[in-house]
């Protein structure tokens, strides 16, 4: 509705507000997951600036950085964030508080891009540092965002206890700010942690709550994300028919917004479901599609999961080949500091449960009833 209304207006009829028109149009496209169009509208806004206000330019550069990140072009995103940081530093003398806040926002964006490139430990250190600065600035919205970024990064690293604490803090702050979209994403982050701890039912509830908000806001990425989360929660509760339905909905949304990395994880999860049911030919097809997605966007973490999936696939019939994939997964996971994936690969290589190591990470293995049971 909003997009139709905005597009019905000619920017030529609003010469003094042309940049506002294009920026609003970009925001609508971004919320719908139409990231290429969002970028085009924002570049048009930059070109139509009636005055060289550096603060507006910094804001636009950061928006372009986030759009590039959402398009899985993390090097491009880093370039935009660095450009915004450099400009913010130049204008710091004019308004030190605002410029300082913009510098923090740029560094936060750079850290998210580093995470997208597989530098999880480095990103965690940056987020922890930024958190202290946001607190000094009394920027609650920025603080809530960094708690979310830190918590989701720690979840990838296998630091589930710290991840849960930080994500709950993000939820609390977003609730106070009444930022419903931020609240929904933080709930999804926490739902992912709870699923890894074996609390599939609680995880599913959080994903459902988040999904309702995403649907209201027509956030296609959020809907795809929460559909996949609900599917995995259902899979872990042996509700296979429901899981398949949610996975199919997630695939449709991710295809619409052209998100290859997350789509790869949907295919990987579907492969896990089919492996647990012994449908080997179907599982093989999904593993191939997952691997293709991960390779296309150079998703290093995704490739670890791909190797684990192939190891599980060959474990029943070709043990040597399975061991090869588990070793590849372990080596790549070690490079990326992914604790849970290292433990899982090691357990498969040694054919031992490694329960004490899973317990140390906060993972409840007794909740997993599947053959190849990574959540």
Contact predicate 56/18, CB 8 Å: no
Reported pTM? 0.89
**In 3-state terms, what secondary structure has residue 277?**
coil
Tell me, letter by letter, the H, E, C secondary structure of 7-48: HCCCHHHCHHHHHHHHHHHHHHHHHHCCHHHHHHHHHHHHHC
Closest by CA to 257, choosing from 233, 232, 225, is: 225
CA–CA dist 208, 109 (Å, integer): 28
Q: What is the domain extent for residue 73?
A: 16-116
Q: What is the DSSP letter of 367?
A: G
Q: Which residues of 88-119 are buried (b: 16+ CB within 10 A; e: fewer)?
A: beebeeeeeeebbbbbbbbbbbbbbbbbbbbb
* Count of structural domains within the chain: 2
pLDDT the model gives residue 51: 65
Residue 225 is assigned to a structural domain of this protein? no
Residue 195 is assigned to a structural domain of this protein? no
The tens place of each residue's pLDDT in the chain, 375 residues long, gives 444 433 434 444 444 456 778 888 888 898 888 999 999 998 988 887 766 778 888 889 999 999 999 999 999 999 999 999 998 887 765 556 777 888 999 999 999 999 999 999 999 999 999 999 998 888 899 999 999 999 999 999 999 999 999 999 999 999 999 999 999 999 999 999 999 888 999 999 999 999 999 999 999 999 999 999 999 999 999 999 999 999 999 999 999 999 999 999 999 999 999 998 999 999 999 999 999 999 999 999 999 999 999 999 998 889 999 999 999 999 999 999 999 899 989 888 886 656 777 777 777 665 443 434 444
Residue 32 is assigned to a structural domain of this protein? yes
Residue 21 is assigned to a structural domain of this protein? yes
Closest by CA to 287, choosing from 319, 325, 255, is: 325
* Residues with Cβ within 8 Å of residue 77, at least 6 apart in sequence: 65, 66, 68, 69, 109, 112, 113, 116
Residue 198 is assigned to a structural domain of this protein? no
Last residue of a domain, one of 96, 116, 136: 116
Last residue of a domain, one of 86, 101, 116: 116
Degrees, nearest 5: CA angle 298-258-144: 80
Residue 305 is assigned to a structural domain of this protein? yes
CATH number, domain containing residue 27: 1.25.40.10
Last residue of a domain, one of 116, 131, 153: 116
Q: Is 150 exposed, middle or buried (0-12, 13-18, 19+ CB in 10 A)?
A: buried
Residue 138 is assigned to a structural domain of this protein? no
Closest by CA to 313, choosing from 270, 343, 355, 346, is: 270
CA–CA dist 55, 39 (Å, integer): 19
Residue 313 is assigned to a structural domain of this protein? yes
pLDDT digits (tens, 9 = 90+) for 4-60: 433 434 444 444 456 778 888 888 898 888 999 999 998 988 887 766 778 888 889
């Amino acid at each position: 509705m909003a997009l139709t209304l905005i597009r019905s207006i000619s920017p030529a009829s609003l010469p003094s507000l042309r940049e506002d028109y294009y920026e609003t149009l970009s925001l609508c496209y971004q919320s719908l997951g139409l990231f290429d169009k969002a970028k085009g509208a924002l570049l048009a806004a930059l070109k139509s600036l009636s005055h060289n206000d550096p603060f507006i330019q910094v804001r636009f550069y950061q928006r372009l950085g986030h759009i590039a990140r959402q398009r899985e072009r993390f090097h491009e995103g880093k370039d935009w964030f660095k450009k915004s940081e450099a400009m913010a530093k130049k204008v710091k003398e004019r308004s030190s508080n605002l410029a300082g806040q913009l510098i923090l926002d740029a560094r936060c964006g750079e850290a998210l891009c580093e995470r997208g490139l597989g530098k999880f430990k480095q990103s965690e250190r940056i987020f922890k540092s930024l958190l202290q600065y946001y607190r000094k600035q009394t920027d609650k919205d920025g603080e809530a965002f960094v708690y979310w970024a830190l918590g989701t990064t720690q979840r990838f690293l296998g630091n589930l206890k710290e991840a849960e604490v930080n994500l709950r803090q993000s939820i609390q702050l977003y609730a106070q700010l009444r930022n419903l979209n931020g609240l929904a994403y933080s709930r999804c982050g926490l739902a992912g942690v709870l699923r890894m701890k074996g609390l599939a039912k609680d995880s599913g509830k959080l994903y459902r709550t988040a999904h309702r908000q995403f649907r209201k806001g027509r956030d296609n990425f959020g809907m795809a994300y929460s559909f996949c989360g609900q599917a995995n929660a259902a899979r872990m509760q042996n509700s296979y028919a429901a899981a398949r339905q949610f996975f199919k909905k997630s695939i449709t949304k991710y295809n619409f917004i052209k998100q290859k990395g997350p789509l790869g994880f949907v295919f990987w999860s579907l492969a896990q479901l089919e492996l647990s049911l012994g449908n080997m030919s179907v599982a093989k097809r999904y593993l191939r599609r997952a691997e293709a997605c991960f390779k296309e966007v150079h998703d290093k973490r995704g490739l670890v999961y791909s190797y684990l999936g192939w190891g599980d696939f060959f474990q029943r019939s070709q043990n040597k080949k399975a061991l090869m994939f588990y070793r590849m997964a372990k080596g790549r996971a070690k490079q990326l500091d992914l604790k849970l994936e290292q433990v899982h690969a090691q357990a498969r290589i040694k054919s031992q449960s490694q329960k004490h190591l899973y317990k140390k990470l906060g993972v409840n293995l007794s909740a997993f009833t599947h053959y190849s049971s990574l959540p």
